[in-house]
Amino acid sequence: MLKVDGLTVRADSVELVHDVSFAIGPGERVGLIGESGSGKSLTALSLMGLLPEGVAASGMARLGDRDLVGVPESRIKELRGRKMSMVFQEPMTALNPLMRVGAQVAEVMTLHGKPRHEARARAVELLERVRLPEPAQIARAYPHQLSGGQRQRVMLAIALANEPGLLICDEPTTALDVTVQKQMLELIAEVAPALLFITHDLAVVASVCERVLVMYGGRVVESGPIREVFTRPRHRYTEGLLAASKLTPRGTRLPAISGSVPPAGRFPGGCVFRNRCPQATPACETAPELTGDAHAFACWHPAD
Amino acid sequence: MTLYLVKRLAVLLASTAVAAVVVFAFMALLPGDPAEIALGVNATPEAVAELRRQFGTDRAPVAQFLDWAGGLLQGDFGTSYVTSAPIGPQIGDRLGVTAVLVLGGMILAVVIAVPLGTFAAVHHRNALGAVISAASQLGIAIPAFLAGILLVFVFAVQAQALPSGGYVPISENPAEWLRSLLLPWLSLGLVQGAVLTRYVRSAVLDVMREDYLRTARAKGRGSTGALWRHGLRNASIPVVTVLGLQLATLLIGAVVVERVFVVPGLGDLLLNGVAQRDLLLVQGVVMVLVAAVLLINFVVDVAYHLLDPRLR
Amino acid sequence: MRGRMNAGLLVGGVLVGIVVLAALVSFFWTPHDPTLVDAARKLREPGGGYLLGADKFGRDTFSQLMVGARTTLYVGIVAVGIAAVIGTPLGMAAGMTPRGWLSELIMRVNDLVFAFPALLLAVMLGAVYGAGTLTAMIAIGVATVPAFARVARAATLQVMVTDYVLAARAAGRRRPAIAFRHVLPNIGSVLIVQASVSFAIAILAEAALSFLGFGTRPPTPSWGRMLQESQELLFSTPRLALWPGLAIALAVLGFNLLGDGLRDFLDPKLRRIRAEG
């Protein structure tokens, strides 16, 4: 359903995302993980045509039979909110503070052709569907009267309103309290059609997704079914992420990967991870290809 | 909202009352005695005392103030010591002229600034946006009276298309009235428009970076549509505040512009009053101008609350 | 952006520099006596030692402009000084006790003073004491106090919630100590920017007041009065209005650009607290 091939994102001369390829089938749930600065969000935003000013995508991305990259905004905007939707990280600022919540949910439907009164009624249903208590009352509220968790549910209601085929969630629970996070994840897992779920939290991916893409330095370094990637990581970066994550039992947890993510454009040539990789050798100065079918990885010295 | 309105109204009334005390106290500190000034140096003490009694300036300051303030409430500004004419009607006549001048200038400023500022924000990365920013920066540096002189030079001296000054009442000749006000309006409007353009630009720029605009685009709006539907009302909140401050600035700017174009408004009345040492008249006009500034601030605050549900 | 020069700062600095230089040099030397009335040179055309010509009294325009720069800076410095000296402590006090009665009182008085623009104050002062440079400076200064107080308050509020101030308060330091040791140094750059912007406004106000006859009195040259005197000759000798007009506009532009440039130069965070105009 979604097919991405050779997606590259640039800001001026700096390459932020390099040659990313993946596909998501109908109803499939795919996680996209990596530290901040790895290019996850830019990948998602380029699919939605929402890249910030001065940042441009090239390559191929197709939703059904519609091209997403390299087409004018007038062509892609009719897909947004109808065929694909996105929920963002920061619920506190994602809603218009001057507009009632119900109207903001209804807007996404009237924009794509639903009559106003129908959209209003359906907005309340949607608020109920995302398990907001007293949906009719919430529809009349302004965003500042809701909590962060409630606002994120409103965002989800907006995203689901037109029954899109693909839902993209960019760290949707990062800004929420832990207890609220769990409810939100359960809700997303329950209502999402095909899903591209972006997070840096491996435990979250494990609970929501079937397949995972690991990104580092603007590249996909490993991909495959969750179970396989998480139990038998091949790329050294994935290995490091897992070792440092909550998925590894306390006590056997290894220290986090040494060093920090370089700023955009400062990644080393060849394998982007080699300056932080304990296994790096001169061979790593040549960029490794992403190889393998179901479980693919791009590493010269893979873990077993 | 109602509670806020009541509170804010109380603040308006209180500050107007305090302002009245300040204005009165200021003018009462005068070294000169109106009666002595009116009669000249050769007057007998008896005549001065008599006139003082007529003016009421022989009473205690508090009594004088209460008399004056009580009159203000009924629209009575007292009688000029110099011309013996009642002051209220004069202020009434002139107030209309100044109000038309200020409102026309304001409308012009808004009509210039909103599209230009928005355009400059949307195109902030290219040359045209930069040109608008530079032009508005230049406009801010030109005071309204200098703009007036420049306009007179271009439109009256060079092109000879418009009068260089003077005023024709609308009841006399509407077309000439319009012609006589065009240059004063432009002087006020162009300068304030330049100031406002900068604020509109920065408000729209701030809004363009907001997450909710991205949300609107994720719903399927184009960037222009998102800005139009979700951005402009948000951007209007800071702009309304500036607009209020500007209206006050314009009111004062009008005083000067009236002098440039010989328009018989409040400013003209005020400056003539000072020239003739007609202090009760000056006191009245200053009070009206100060009250107008306070009223404008009140309207702005209320508008602010109406626009932003977070404050309700 | 700290420490990086920008075009605005450079242009603003150069324009302000020219005004300051002209003012300083005018103390020692001007091409001619700027106040010397000479019927023989009446409306003399530019040239022959009279770079910009002479006005209707035969006074040399260039010399008048130079001394006018002095008047402008003098009024600006005193007015902004008054505003800064009164407004800054008031704003700081209001910002350090944000919920107290003192803060409320200061801000209310501030709002009230705000309703008395420089021009009205100058007219009132002028009507009572007779107009002059002094009344103009006081009026502009007092009218500028609210802008300083508001900006100082906003900046103080921000500084008061920083870790180092919270630590100092937890350690039991008294308010005046905190004000001098922590708050003032940290709001200094905001105040410098405000001073520059206020200076531009003071120049505008002085010009307007002199134009109306409520500012600098003759024979002391002033750009605003030069404009006023030139107005009646606009049809015959427009250059007399051109030069003082240009001087005012460039000086104001210079201080505005300097203020904006300093804001970017000193700290990008400052953009949040806008100088008030």
Region C183-201: what's the mean pLDDT?
A: 86
**C147 to chain B: closest CA residue:** B245
Identity of the residue in B125, B211, B219 whose CB atom sits nearest the CB atom of A158: B219
Helices (H), C5-60: 7-28
CATH number at residue C131: 1.10.3720.10
**pLDDT class for C259, splitting at 50, 70, 90?**
confident
**pLDDT class for A179, splitting at 50, 70, 90?**
confident
Place of tokens 């569907």: A129
Q: Quick check: bond before A302 cis, omega within 30?
A: no
Q: Tens digits of per-residue pLDDT, A32-76?
A: 998 887 888 899 999 998 888 888 899 999 998 889 988 888 888
Question: Would residue C52 count as lying in a domain?
Answer: no
* B124 reaches A (C-beta below 8 A): no
CA end-to-end span of chain B, whole Å? 5
pLDDT of residue C274: 52
Q: Tens digits of per-residue pLDDT, C195-244?
A: 888 888 888 888 888 888 887 787 888 888 888 887 777 777 777 778 88
- Edge to edge, the sheet with strand A55-63 lists A14-24, A2-11, A55-63, A66-67
**pLDDT class for B30, splitting at 50, 70, 90?**
low
Q: In total, how many domains does chain C have?
A: 1
Compute CA C276 distance to the chain's CA centroid, rounded to the nearest angstrom: 13
E strand segments, chain A: 2-11, 14-24, 29-33, 55-63, 66-67, 84-87, 166-170, 194-199, 211-216, 219-225, 296-297
Question: Would residue C169 count as lying in a domain?
Answer: yes
Q: Count of CB atoms within 10 A of residue A190's CB?
A: 10
**C271 to chain B: closest CA residue:** B202
> A2-83+169-180+192-297: which CATH number, 1.20.200.10, 2.40.30.60, 3.40.50.150, 3.40.50.300?
3.40.50.300
Q: Count of CB atoms within 10 A of residue A2's CB?
A: 23
Region A239-254: what's the mean pLDDT?
A: 73
pLDDT of residue B110: 93
Question: Would residue C35 count as lying in a domain?
Answer: no
Give A97's contacts in chain B (Cβ within 8 Å). Answer: 212, 234, 308-310
pLDDT of residue A110: 92
Tell which residue, B113, B180, B182, B183, has the closest CA to residue B150: B183
Long-range contacts of B163-172 (CB under 8 A, 24+ apart): B164/B261, B164/C234, B165/B260, B165/B261, B165/B262, B165/B263, B166/B261, B166/B262, B166/B263, B167/B97, B167/B261, B167/B262, B167/B263, B167/B264
- Show me where the domains of chain B are located: 2-87, 95-311
Question: Would residue C127 count as lying in a domain?
Answer: yes
- How far is residue B197 from each of residues B185, B192, B242, C6, C44, measured CA to CA in Å? 17, 8, 11, 22, 41
Q: Does pLDDT of A246 surpass 50? A: yes
pLDDT of residue C225: 84
- From B143's Cα to the closest Cα of chain C, the distance in A is 6
**pLDDT class for C1, splitting at 50, 70, 90?**
very low
How many Å apart are CA B150 and CA B156, to the nearest integer? 10
Q: Which residues of B, range 274-293, sit inside 8 Å of C by Cβ? A: 274, 277, 279, 282, 286, 289-290, 293
Q: Tens digits of per-residue pLDDT, C121-164?
A: 888 888 777 788 888 899 999 999 988 898 888 888 888 878 88
Question: Would residue C229 count as lying in a domain?
Answer: yes
Give A73's contacts in chain B (Cβ within 8 Å). Answer: 222-223
How many Å apart are CA B206 and CA C151, to the nearest integer? 20
**A90 to chain B: closest CA residue:** B211
Residue scoring higher pLDDT (C101 or A304): C101
pLDDT of residue A30: 92
Inter-chain touch C112–B256, beta carbons under 8 Å: no
Tell which residue, C133, C140, C148, C89, has the closest CA to residue C116: C140
- Rounded (10°) angle between helices A116-129 and A101-111: 120
Please count the CA atoms within 13 angstroms of the CA of B21 that sit on its side-chain side: 8
Region C106-133: what's the mean pLDDT?
A: 83
Q: DSSP 3-state assignment of B17?
A: helix
Question: How many residue contacts between B and C have a Cβ separation below 8 Å?
Answer: 114
Q: Does pLDDT of C275 surpass 70? A: no
Q: Tens digits of per-residue pLDDT, A202-236?
A: 888 888 899 999 998 888 999 999 888 888 888 88
Inter-chain touch C126–B274, beta carbons under 8 Å: yes
Q: Tell me which of C104, C120, C203 to substitute to probe the interface with B (most B C-beta atoms closer than 10 Å).
A: C120
Tell which residue, B286, B301, B298, B303, has the closest CA to residue B24: B286
Identity of the residue in A53, A78, A94 whose CB atom sits nearest the CB atom of B215: A94
Q: Which residues of B, range 221-240, sit inside 8 Å of A by Cβ? A: 221-223, 229-230, 233-234
- From A21's Cα to the closest Cα of chain B, the distance in A is 23
CA end-to-end span of chain C, whole Å? 24
The DSSP H or E segment spanning A42 is helix A40-48
The DSSP bridge pattern shows strands A166-170 and A194-199 to be: parallel
pLDDT of residue B31: 58
- From B289's Cα to the closest Cα of chain A, the distance in A is 34
| CATH 1.10.3720.10 corresponds to the domain B95-311 | yes
Inter-chain touch A111–B219, beta carbons under 8 Å: yes
**What ipTM does the predicted assembly reach?**
0.88
**B13 to chain C: closest CA residue:** C112
**pLDDT class for B37, splitting at 50, 70, 90?**
low
Inter-chain touch B308–A98, beta carbons under 8 Å: yes
Question: Would residue C215 count as lying in a domain?
Answer: yes
- Show me where the domains of chain A are located: 2-83+169-180+192-297, 94-163
Residue scoring higher pLDDT (B39 or A188): A188
Compute CA A243 distance to the chain's CA centroid, rounded to the nearest angstrom: 22
**pLDDT class for C50, splitting at 50, 70, 90?**
low
Region A254-283: what's the mean pLDDT?
A: 81
Give B157's contacts in chain C (Cβ within 8 Å). Answer: 234-235, 238
How many Å apart are CA A140 and CA A101, to the nearest integer? 6
**A106 to chain B: closest CA residue:** B219
Question: pTM for the whole thing?
Answer: 0.82
Residues contacting residue B50 through CB under 8 Å, at least 6 positions apart? none
Region B168-178: what's the mean pLDDT?
A: 83
- Angle at CA of residue C126, ends C124 and C131, nearest 5°: 160
Q: Tens digits of per-residue pLDDT, A36-47?
A: 878 888 999 999
